[in-house]
Structure 1
Amino acid sequence: MRRNNCDSPLPQQTRKIGPTRRSVSGYYPFRLEKHIQYESALERDFIIRKDFSLSVQDVIPQPCQIPFVLNGQSFNYTPDFLVFYKLGTASFPGYTKPLLVEVKPAQEWRKNWRKWLPKWKAAYAYAKQQGWIFRIHDESRIRDVAFLNITFLERYKRMQFSHEESEYILKTVQEMGSAPFHYLLARHFMGIYRGQGIAHLWHLLALRQLDCDITLPLNDFTELWIPEHDSE
């Protein structure tokens, strides 16, 4: 099994993405460390999902070229992304395998799956050889409840709050292990400060100073805890 070792060099982008008339293209600022190219709105949303996840180590666009044969002719297929995950507290055998991904709208892959099957079979075999997993992600895997939550939290990222108040909230959560949203709101923001408190708690979650099960709807009963940044 290869490319699972954290000391191994990560693959680099193999194909540059140029301007396109048929879809949205651009660069996404991944954790303010680098810019990741995308060539559709769905690809951009995929990166947004991975950017939010603390278990994700890195996302590499256009990571490799995979040879395949169709009707006796040789071609190269370039998947959209390769996602590496952090080892965290898991043992190496239990480590989440890197994910090789093709991002395609459901309408497109359902219409063209027979034509694209040879290259996807080649990608599956290549990923298995590398110790990776190959998957196709459409809207159902990307624009789900988690994505709606992430886009909702985006508006709270740039808000400014007292550092002392933030530390007080985080200390409460740290001491309790976890706490529901409504409890923290009642404990730290009563009366006229309730509205400010709601924004403050979402702000801490948006900045990943707090964590939750992002796959569930966000509400007063959302359970919050301190993320283990170093171990994920």
Structure 2
Amino acid sequence: MIPWDSFLERDYIRLADFDLEVNMIYAQDEQITYLYNGKVRNHFPDFKVITNDNQVWIVEVKPNAFVNDEENQKKYLAGRAFCEERGWTYIVVTEDDIRPGFLQQNLSLLRGLGAEDVSDETLDFVKMQLEKSNECTIGHLRMFCMNLSEEDYYASVYQLIYFQELYCDLILQPITNDSVIKIKE
């Protein structure tokens, strides 16, 4: 469980959890000292992210309305300098990055239902059925998986989408039986 201070931060964590490049995420793991209006200030960026190839991202989550505030701009400059010294990357992300279209709604659904315990055999069976047509809707694929219970079928599909073994557009529309899925290349 990673602590968060706002719903926007919670949604960033959900996005990072879905990102296959992210290995670890830590909350407010670094302290950056900077000078603002003649006073020494401390900045604790929201997250430290370690990627699978050991890159480090220091991530500040900020609503669009506050990105250009003078004090925040000073924090970002200090953050970038702090990261450059270490060979890291400082990133400011906003709701535009975190909440495009239906992405958060779909990730919430996938994470909730895609975390069910499904056997590898069932997952392989669903993928094998989809490979026969290469691309179809979730509802159409269901017809080829009638020997699975409804619960196992949907848990399998959602899990395969969540772990990015199946492709489904998660931004343009909510996931439904009409959503097109295909094997991820």
Counterpart of 1:143? 99
TM-score, scaled to structure 2: 0.76
Mark the CA change 1:131 to 1:178 in structure 2 (over 3 Å): closer, same or farther.
farther
Number of residue pairs aligned between Structure 1 and Structure 2: 179
Q: Which amino acid aligns with 1:224?
A: I
- Alignment pair present for 1:63 and 2:29: yes
Q: Which runs of 5+ in 1 are unaligned?
A: 1-34, 88-94, 227-232
Percentage of identical aligned residues: 24
After superposition, residues 112-131 of structure 1 pair within 5 angstroms as 113-131=69-87
Q: Which runs of 5+ in 2 are unaligned?
A: none
Counterpart of 2:59? 101
Deviation per CA, 1:133-160, whole angstroms, max 9, x where unpaired?
2121121111124323212323423556
- Alignment pair present for 1:208 and 2:158: no
Classify the secondary structure of the residue corresponding to 1:170. Answer: helix
Q: Is the 8 A contact 2:168 2:179 kept in 1?
A: no
Q: Which amino acid aligns with 1:43?
A: E
Name the CA distance, whole Å, in 1 between partners of 2:144 and 2:162: 19
Counterpart of 1:180? 135
Q: Which amino acid aligns with 1:59?
A: I
User: More helix by proportion, 1 or 2?
Assistant: 2
Mark the CA change 1:108 to 1:177 in structure 2 (over 3 Å): closer, same or farther.
farther
TM-score, scaled to structure 1: 0.63
Classify the secondary structure of the residue corresponding to 1:205. Answer: helix
Deviates more, 1:39-48 or 1:139-148: 139-148
Name the CA distance, whole Å, in 1 between partners of 2:116 and 2:41: 49
Q: Which amino acid aligns with 1:57?
A: N
Q: Is the 8 A contact 1:68 1:74 kept in 2?
A: yes
Deviation per CA, 1:188-222, whole angstroms, max 9, x where unpaired?
236x9796686244333256273426554455323
